[in-house]
Structure 1
C-alpha cells in the first residue's frame, strides 16, 4: 500500500506491460469501507489495464472511511410516518472531488498510464464520486461506472452542455432489492444520463446494495468494448 502527495492511501494492480502507457481504471469504495474492499475485483480486469483502488480521507471507524459528509434528514408526514433521506454536504463533496482529481493526475503520471484512457468507477458513495468526476469534467475521462449509486442533485448545475457529453459511455449497475437506491431512483438516474446525451449501459439483477458478480462481469465487458471501439 502506498500514499500519494494528495494524502490518499491506495493499492495498485499493475498492467502486464508497464513499459507502455496503459488504460487505467480507478475504483472508489463505498461508505465505511477502504481501498482493500474493491481491490480483489482487479484480478478480473483485463491484464493490459492498470487498476488503482483508493481510500477515502474521512475516517468513520477503524479501517472504515468515506469520501464526503452526508446527513440523514427525516421528513415527517401525516400519521407520524418518516421518510429518511441522505443529503450530501456540497462543500465536502466538492473538496473530495478536487482532491481525487489531483490524485488521478498524479497516478497517471507516476505509473505511465494513458491520459486519454482513464475510467473512474465505484460503489455507493464511490459511485456518486465517480459520476461527479465524470459529469463535471467529461473531457478528462474516457468513461465512468457506478454500482449502487445515483445522480446528486447538487451536482447538476455543474454539468456542462450536451456537446461535451454527447455519446460518452457510462455504466450503471443496480440491484432490484437495493434498500438505498430504489428502482424508481435507478430509472431516474438512467433517464437523466440518457437525456444528457450519454451512451448508458445498464446491468440489473435481483440483489440488494452491492456490486454483484453479474454486474461486474457486465462492467468488464463494458470496458473491453471501450478498447475495441478506439
Structure 2
C-alpha cells in the first residue's frame, strides 16, 4: 500500500516531532487538517489518506466486519502502510504525535502499540483499541505514555464493548487524559478541540 498525504510546508525541514492526522471511515485526508490549530506553534503536520477507496473522496483504513472488533490482519496491514510512509518520508529521529478520529483513532493507538520509540503519545478522538495484543503492550504497561482520549457522551457509532475495552486498555497501559462531552455524538466540537490543544500545549493556562 502506498499512502497519499497532505502536509504542512515545513514538513521537509527535519522536524523533531510531527503531528500525524488519521481520518475516520468514509472520510479523507482533508478532514482533520483543521485540527492543526490545536498544535503547538511551529509543529509540522501530515494528514494521511487511508488506503482503501470506498467512493470518491471517501476511504477507509480497513473494512468494517464486526463493528468495534476489527479483524487483526487488515488492521495490521494498515499499520504497516502507515509505518512505511513514515520511514520513507520522515527522518529516522523524528517522533510522531498520531491524532486520529474514529477508525483513525484506532490507527493512532496502533502506532503507539507497535513502535512507541517513534510514536510516544497519541490523541484518540471518538476511537477505540483493537482487542488483539500488540508487540509493545508489555512495554507500554511499564512506561505508561501520555494519551488523550475524548468522545461524545451521545456517540452511538462506537460500540459499548469497544469503549469499555478501550477504557480498560488505557488504565493498564497509559497515563490517560480522558474526557466525555455531553450532547456530542460521533464527532469533534470546540470543547474537544480546546482539550486537545491543552493536552498538546501543557504550559497553556
Alignment-derived partner of residue 223 in structure 1: 200
Greater radius of gyration (CA): 1
What does residue range 1-230 of structure 1 map to in structure 2 within 5 Å? 7-15=2-10, 19=13, 21-72=15-66, 85-109=67-91, 115=94, 117-154=95-132, 156-162=133-139, 165-181=142-158, 185-196=162-173, 198-206=174-182, 207-225=184-202
* Contact 1:128 1:146 (C-alpha < 8 Å) held by counterparts: yes
The structure in which a higher percent of residues are strand is 1
Aligned mates of 2:117, 2:23 — CA distance in 1: 23
Aligned mates of 1:136, 1:19 — CA distance in 2: 26
Structure 1 residues not aligned, in runs of 5+: 1-5, 73-84
Aligned mates of 2:77, 2:140 — CA distance in 1: 26
Alignment TM-score, normalising by the size of structure 1: 0.78
Q: Are residues 114 and 217 of structure 1, via their aligned partners in 2, closer, same or farther at CA, if it must alter by over 3 Å?
A: farther
Q: Alignment length, in residue pairs? A: 202
Aligned mates of 1:200, 1:150 — CA distance in 2: 13
1:25-70 C-alpha deviation (Å, 9 max, x unpaired): 0000000000001112213322320111110010011110001122
Instruction: Kindly state the Cα deviation for residue 222 of structure 1 after the two structures are TM-superposed.
Output: 1.0
Alignment-derived partner of residue 76 in structure 1: none
Instruction: Kindly state the Cα deviation for residue 216 of structure 1 after the two structures are TM-superposed.
Output: 1.6
Q: Secondary structure at the match of 1:37?
A: coil
- Say which is worse superposed, 166-175 or 99-108, in terms of deviation: 99-108
Q: Are residues 18 and 59 of structure 1, via their aligned partners in 2, closer, same or farther at CA, if it must alter by over 3 Å?
A: closer
Instruction: Kindly state the Cα deviation for residue 107 of structure 1 after the two structures are TM-superposed.
Output: 2.8
Q: Are residues 92 and 183 of structure 1, via their aligned partners in 2, closer, same or farther at CA, if it must alter by over 3 Å?
A: closer
* Contact 1:23 1:49 (C-alpha < 8 Å) held by counterparts: yes
* Contact 2:38 2:200 (C-alpha < 8 Å) held by counterparts: no
- Structure 1 stretches of 4+ with a deviation exceeding 4 A read 17-20, 162-165, 182-185
Instruction: Kindly state the Cα deviation for residue 18 of structure 1 after the two structures are TM-superposed.
Output: 6.8
Q: Secondary structure at the match of 2:62?
A: coil
* Contact 1:24 1:114 (C-alpha < 8 Å) held by counterparts: no
